[in-house]
Amino acid sequence: MNERLMGRLSRLLQTEFNVSPADFAVLAELTDVPDRRRLLDIARALEWEKSRMSHHITRMVQRGLVVRDECAEDGRGTFVAITDEGRAVVEAAAPRHVKAVRELFLDHVTPSELRLLARISERVMEKLGEEPASRERAARPASCGRRERRRGGR
C-alpha cells in the first residue's frame, strides 16, 4: 500500500509541479525555518545520508529551488535556503498534495481506524527515535549485561 500510494503521489508531484517527492520533502523542511538551515540538519530530519543530501541539494540549486551558502563560522558546514521560486513551488504543490492524500487514503478509513493507525504509528515512531545502541540494550535480558560486566571485571 505504501509503495503504491507514494508512487501515485510521486507522479502527481512530478506531472503537476515538476518536482520529485524528494524535492518536495526538502522544500517542506525549508519552509519551517525563517532564513536558512544547515544541510546536515535537513539530512537528519529526512533520514538521508549526508552525501545523498549534498548531491540532491546541488541538483535543486541548478534548478533554482534553493541556494547553498558556506558557513562562515567554521568553514565546514553548509547552509541551505529556499528561493522565491522554491517557495512558490511548495506553496502551489502542498494543497494539491494534501488533497491527494485525502482522496487516496484518508477518505477510505474510518475515524476509529485512523485513531488506531495513529497509536500504532506513534509507537513505531517512538522506537525509531531511539538510538540503535539503546535499542540493543533494551532487547537484551537484564541479567546478561550484569553477568558480562562481572566476568569482564575479574
Region 52-61 average pLDDT: 96
Q: Could you give the CA distance from residue 18 to residue 10 in angstroms, rounded to a whole number? A: 10
Region 8-13 average pLDDT: 95
pLDDT digits (tens, 9 = 90+) for 130-145: 765 444 444 443 333 3
pLDDT score at 129: 84
Beta-carbon contacts of residue 6 (< 8 Å; ≥ 6 apart): 21
Residue 22: which of 51, 67, 47, 56 has the closest Cα?
A: 56
Residue 55 has pLDDT above 90, yes or no: yes
Question: pTM of this prediction?
Answer: 0.76
Write out the chain in H/E/C secondary structure. Answer: CHHHHHHHHHHHHHHHHCCCHHHHHHHHHHHCCCCCEEHHHHHHHHCCCHHHHHHHHHHHHHCCCEEEEECCCCCCCEEEEECHHHHHHHHHHHHHHHHHHHHHCHHHCCHHHHHHHHHHHHHHHHHHHCCHHHHHHHHCCHHHHHHHHHHHHC
Q: What are the domain boundaries of the chain?
A: 2-108, 110-154
Residue 147 has pLDDT above 60, yes or no: no
pLDDT score at 131: 63
CATH number of 2-108: 1.10.10.10
The residue among 77 and 60 whose pLDDT is bigger is 60
pLDDT score at 69: 87
pLDDT digits (tens, 9 = 90+) for 102-120: 999 999 999 999 999 999 9
